[in-house]
Structure 1
Amino acid sequence: MYTEVFSRVMMRSAPAPLKVLARGEGARVWDVDGADYLDFLAGIAVNALGHAHPAFVGAVADQAATLAHVSNYFATPPQLELAERLTRLTGGSRVFLCNSGAEAIEAAVKLARLTGKPRILALENAFHGRTIGSLSLTGKPALRAPFEPLLPGVEHLPTSLDALEAALAAGDVAALVLEPIKGEAGVVELPEGYLAGARELTERHGALLILDEIQTGAGRTGDWFAYQHEGIVPDAVALAKGIGGGFPIGALVTFGAASDLFGPGHHGSTFGGNPLAARVANAVLGEIEDAGLVENARRRGAELRARIELIGSPLVTDIQGRGLLLGIGLAEPVAGIVARRALDEGLIVNAANESRIRLAPPLIIGDDELHEFTRKFTVALEIPHTDPGEHA
């Protein structure tokens, strides 16, 4: 019944659902038929506290019964608390609150435009969203092609410091926008030293360094934000996903002189920073901090990586990422088959592309979830060797 309704009423931009999910608790979800699944995708790095966490539920219920929305002619205590929290956690100066990651990137594009320089650089094979501005930055030609022409002045570079230095040489680049780990590409790390080198080069040539931490932020990589592993300070960072733990919210945090670029009337959002979303984000980030979940992501991520290695599957070629954001490379283009076999075993993982599996479990996972994952993922990897041509 649900599949028929989906195909009849949902826009065709959405693929057919793998399952129709009805409820969740902790790191587990149940479908409408009562089958349960260990969720190692967490809404694509969104459900940082898992499902139905008391801190999340309590914040939604209490704030909804108090004050859900006001216009941006007013401020509210949850909004101001969240802005202060985000500046403390990031080391930034000012915050623009919005509703999603794509909106945070849109704010970043406008910030870059306010420098007065015409060019914005991004990386090949990167993903920054599907709105016109964020899609313009997304380094996947197949996604951009149906909607071109997009924003002028955006260039996509190979991920090398030589290419970046050459692109910056003219001195007319407003900003470089990049993911510290390429999430939608299948959790692909930047080359060693690239992020620190990009910071040095952009600073030298007077360009902003804007980081997309929509997927890597909120403790997922084993530090609050992925750039903190490298000891650098960006000019701006885009946030969303895990900061709301399942409630729609996004943010752009600016640092130093970049905080002076936006002026009155330059940007706005009807729902951005509404007290309901802000209260939930405060509760989620507060629980991550109080429960030591950043450290848990670091420790459990190392354990998860070790368990995958110990499976010893010849299908696994590499494991990339940090903390509880991992990408598993496959020797054959069978990621879709592996993900489907995992689902049949009661495990949710993601085939980011034909040869990479993405894992992004809730930050709350412990021994029991790791044991269950290992058992089920081992089965998922046991597929017969086939000619790669069969999957073309």
Structure 2
Amino acid sequence: MTTSAQWIARGDKHVAKTYGRYPLVAARGEGCQLWDVDGKRYLDFLAGVAVNNLGHCHPKVVAALQQQAAELIHCSNFYHIPSQIELAELLCEHSFGDRVFFCNSGAEANEAAMKLVRKYSAEKYGSNRFEVITALASFHGRTIGTISATGQDKVKAGFNPLLPGFHYVPFGDAEALRKAITPNICAVMLEPVQGEGGVRVAPPGYLEAVRQICDEHDLMLVFDEVQVGCGRTGSLFAYEQDGVAPDVLTLAKALAGGPPIGAMVATEKAAECFGPGTHGSTFGGNPLMATAAVTAMRTLLEDGVLDNCVAMGDYLRNRLEELKGRHPFINEVRGRGLILGVELTIPGADIVSQALQQGLLINCTANTVLRFLPPLIVTREEIDEAMTILDGILQKI
């Protein structure tokens, strides 16, 4: 049997070093648990960075993939694909949207959104109205276009020249947004909860104010829910909890319960400028991924997963607040549903490494924020196990 050390040595020779990888070689997963090739068990509170919302290898998603793989894996988008149509219907029936464009990732979904808002504005106002306002500390992807939209300098270093036309304002400050509007602005793109930016939730009334500003100036409002959509916050989509609908919504990560797929959901008004030839994706909405996504969506909606997310999100938050009361270097616990962050007064990377050694998978974002993204099917017992591990680590600091 090939050991973890042997796999890591092989990977170091040929796999691009775009990730600072931890010494874990994954072999199999089930629910909230992951095992490495050496047989060590881990409690997975990262869930593939909010991809495995239904846990690892959910039996309904696995069965759907197996059946569809035996029937039809790929078909060109020159033709109609039943499972793609069914998925689009589900997304529109349960959201503000009227039309859906399918792709393969969150970055691609955001690229589609950026093209759409530019096209809409160009047709209505001319080619000079193409600029987009995003938020500081935001994260929208790793393509040249999406790092240009991202409000973090660290992801842009070394990649100049970037795509022009982006302006950044403090997240949660509606007045700063209003002051940033010029005749060249065509859209505002925000995450309702900034995941990579440190699990920062939009303050009460902020998204409502942004919607009003966009309406006043006929700007497209785009919500990037790549990380927080598909049930992560306790509702199917995060924007629902603020009572504010966007014109465009981007999704990916958990949409298919593990397999890669992205989607851009839009109103008819926004989408009407996307005619034949304006955009495309060879693999977008292919039969295999779309079938998995239909199954994952139905499971979210019909199997009590959202209710469990709310209940376990409250329970996990309370357990984290207990830790805050015992450890003075915990500054704040924040988040929504089962995307929760623990802001520290010290760097968090070493805590993540120690947790890995003890069989708990979490991560650190924004240098000092421990991020918790367990599958939405997590149990009280699994949360208790995770908190016992974490508390033991924190006691030694």
Query: TM-score scaled by structure 1?
Result: 0.95
1:250 maps to amino acid: G
Q: Are residues 1:26 and 2:31 paired?
A: yes
The answer to whether the aligner puts 1:344 opposite 2:357 as a matched pair is: yes
Quote the Cα distance in structure 2 between the aligned partners of 1:383 and 1:81: 52
1:322 aligns to 2:344 (yes or no): no
1:79-99 CA-partner distances (Å, limit 9, x unpaired)? 100000011122211000000
Q: Against the structure 1 CA distance between its residues 374 and 14, is the aligned structure 2 distance closer, same or farther, given a 3 Å change threshold?
A: closer
Partner Cα distance (1:128, 1:163) in 2: 20
Residue type of the partner of 1:372? E
Distance in 2 of aligned mates of 1:53 and 1:268: 30
Give the match for residue 136 of structure 2: 124
Q: 2:322 aligns with which of 290, 302, 310?
A: 310
Q: How does 1:142-291 map to 2 (within 5 A)?
A: 142-159=154-171, 160-168=173-181, 170-291=182-303
1:142 positional shift: 1.8
SS at match of 1:147: coil
CA RMSD, aligned part only?
1.1
Q: Does 1:375 align with 2:380?
A: no
User: 1:309: how far off?
Assistant: 1.1
Q: Aligned equivalents of 2:152 and 2:306: distance in 1?
A: 31
Q: Secondary structure at the match of 1:112?
A: helix
2:310·2:337 contact (CA, 8 Å) conserved in 1? yes
Structure 1 position 14, deviation (Å) = 2.5
Q: Tell me which residue corresponds to 2:91.
A: 86
Query: Which amino acid in structure 1 is aligned with residue 105 of structure 2?
Result: S
| Corresponding residue for residue 77 of structure 1 | 82
Shift of 1:256: 4.2
Q: How many pairs align?
A: 382
Distance apart, 1:380 and its partner CA: 2.4
* Counterpart Cα distance in 2 of 1:232 and 1:18: 42
Provide TM-score, normalisation by structure 2.
Answer: 0.94
Letter of the 1:274 partner, please give it.
N
User: How many Å separate the matches in 2 of 1:183 and 1:166?
Assistant: 25
The answer to which of 72-81 and 11-20 deviates more is 11-20
53-62 or 258-267: bigger deviation: 258-267
From 63, 70, 73, give the equivalent of 1:68.
73
| In structure 2, distance between residues paired with 1:177 and 1:266 | 21
Kindly indicate whether residue 377 of structure 2 is the aligned counterpart of residue 364 of structure 1. yes
Deviation digits for residues 252-288 of structure 1 (CA, Å, limit 9, x no counterpart): 0002411212111100010001010000001111111
1:51 aligns with 2:53: no
Do the aligned partners of 1:23 and 1:31 also contact (CA within 8 Å) in 2? yes
Is the deviation greater in 97-106 or in 258-267?
258-267
CA contact (8 A) 1:7 1:16 kept: no
**Mapped contact 2:116–2:271 kept (Cα < 8 A):** no
Displacement of 1:332: 1.4
1:321 is aligned with what amino acid? G
Runs ≥4 residues deviating over 3 A: none
Q: Which amino acid aligns with 1:49?
A: L
Identify the residue that residue 10 of structure 1 maps to in structure 2: 15
Q: Are the counterparts in 2 of residues 339 and 380 from structure 1 also a CA contact under 8 Å?
A: no
Equivalent residue, structure 2, for 1:354 = 367
Secondary structure of the 1:146 match is: coil
In structure 2, the gaps of 5 or more residues are: 1-5, 123-128
Report the residue type matching 2:245 in the other structure: V
What displacement does 1:171 show?
A: 3.2
- One-letter amino acid matched to 2:369: R
* Structure 2 Cα separation of the partners of residues 380 and 54 of structure 1: 34
* Separation (CA, whole Å) in 2 of partners of 1:143 and 1:80: 36
